[in-house]
Chain A
Amino acid sequence: MTTYVMVIDTKTCIGCGDCVVACKTENKVPEGLNRDWIVEATNGTYPNLTTEFRSERCNHCSNATCVTLCPTGASHKWQDTNIVLVDADKCTGCKACIAACPYDARLVMHPDGYIDKCTFCHHRVEKGLDPACVSSCPTKCMYFGSLDDPNSEVSQLLKTRKYKVLNPETGNEPHVYYLI
């Protein structure tokens, strides 16, 4: 199984939101819905403050509870990878996967009613390209690649830099990493 990961450097992210716009454009995400978003986390008390910007999305978890709890198999892993996709033809719109996601990263795609989410732009990955959000980042703070290749940029970054994932205690094994 190939494990695709996204590594985001919070030290160089400025929270501009280009990744969000790129995603909406590339994937034609309907108005009012977002597959990715930016969080500004502020720590401390004025004047001693630290700020961290995080571009967040589906974590494409190894142990994805949205896949295990889907009653029809619509939520599935793409071609023996950790990339979680939804097959609209199998989706009943029961919304179990939305409740099952500890990151609230899934959404109901209106008006059709099936469930939609970040796909890590698998249609681009297939062609050897980076996801739209990664390739559009003006500060080059986002990286995408396979964790199985020890020489990949993402593997090297995770070997040499301090990092974190969101809520690892959920047990979902998320794969969006934040360099801190």
Chain B
Amino acid sequence: MTEELMVTARANELIDPSLAIWTWEVAMYLFLGGLTAGVMVFAAAIALLKRDDEAPFAAFQLALLAPIVLSLGMTTLFLDLEHKLFVFRFYTSFQVTSPMSWGGWILILIYPVSMLQILSTVRRGFPVTVPYVDRFAMARAIVDWCEVHRRQISLVAIPSGVALGIYTGILLSAFSARPFWNSGVLGPLFLVSGLSTAAALVALLSRQKDEKHLFTRIDLVFIVVELALVGLFLINLATGSAPQIDALKSITGGPYTMVFWVLFVGIGLVIPLLLEMLEIRGMATSLAVVAPVLVLIGGYVLRQVMIDVGQESSWTHYETQYDTELIKRME
């Protein structure tokens, strides 16, 4: 038997008994960042594939959501910072080994790209803006230019969106000190989850039946891929080193089992998957609003459960108080 006890009291705030540095703010940011990535990718993909008629909402209006959603996410991220006045320090250096530094600069790239995407479709997506745009020569010239170059803008928007989506996962996977996060699958998993939530958002917001159908089918594909990636992630941990196998116990019988399996896998992935399958076959269409809402909830729960379990997973475990289990084990 080995027992390690703290002799001097260590109760450092946010660190003991287990790490609790990040809460809903970071989870919400990762969710909204992934959603933004998906929004940009779909708006660009529809333009490149010339499916404007089939998916008018995604083609002309969706892009407007990107900067709004991302700004909400950056606000929650800002709320998490402990030294808020120094936030500008993200932009006084570039740290090549830090995914967070990459992320900071990717966010800066996203805004202009997403603005160009919006300008290239603003007149068709929001006809109410036409007189305002046309009144000013310069505004008209810019919008004209963007409309002509919509294809090129879309070609830039796709890798930008993918970079944003994948970085939110790499951000966590780079922490070798947190065994639960230390898996390369997290990057693709967060990207696919972001794409899935964005497809769900289109299915929810579009008023065209065909477009709802198209994005329900797209979402179906991404949910299947996401389930596969979740499986790979679990295999990765289960066949990993001792700290990873230990970390996995949190969701296989441990305190986060219900949240992970029922709320994320069940309600966030499997149930919407089944509902969408029924919907595509023309059944349960009155429930069409339910599946995308569940997908969006599942997207958030994924980030929250990752943040929570990852922080609890650690290389070091000390008993900081008298442990009654000790007596039981010795008997």
Interface of A toward B, CB cutoff 8 Å: 15, 17, 20, 32-34, 37-46, 53, 65, 68-74, 88-96, 98-104, 106-108, 110, 112-115, 166-167, 169-171
Contacts and interface: CB of A to CB of B under 8 A. Distances in A.
B5 interface: yes
Contacts of B93: 72-73, 90
Contact of A92 (B6, B89, B95, B318): B89
Given A94-B81, A95-B82, A114-B82, A42 B3 contact: yes
A170 B83 CA distance: 29
B82 A113 contact: yes
Nearest to B176: A65
Given A38-B7, A38-B8, A112-B83, 9 more contacts: A40-B4, A65-B175, A72-B101, A90-B86, A91-B86, A93-B83, A99-B19, A99-B178, A102-B177
A41 B82 contact: no
B324 to A, nearest CB: 16
B306 to A, nearest CB: 12
Interface residues on B, range: 35 or more
Contact of B315 (A17, A71, A102): A102
Given A39-B7, A171-B176, A99 B86 contact: no
Interface of B is mostly: loop
A71 to B, nearest CB: 4
Nearest to B241: A169
Contact of A68 (B14, B90, B92, B97): B97
Contacts of B14: 95, 98, 107-108
Contact of B90 (A65, A72, A102): A72
Contacts of B100: 69-71, 94, 96
B80 A94 contact: yes
A33 B12 contact: yes
B1 A41 contact: no
A170 B2 CA distance: 21
B21 interface: yes
B227 interface: no
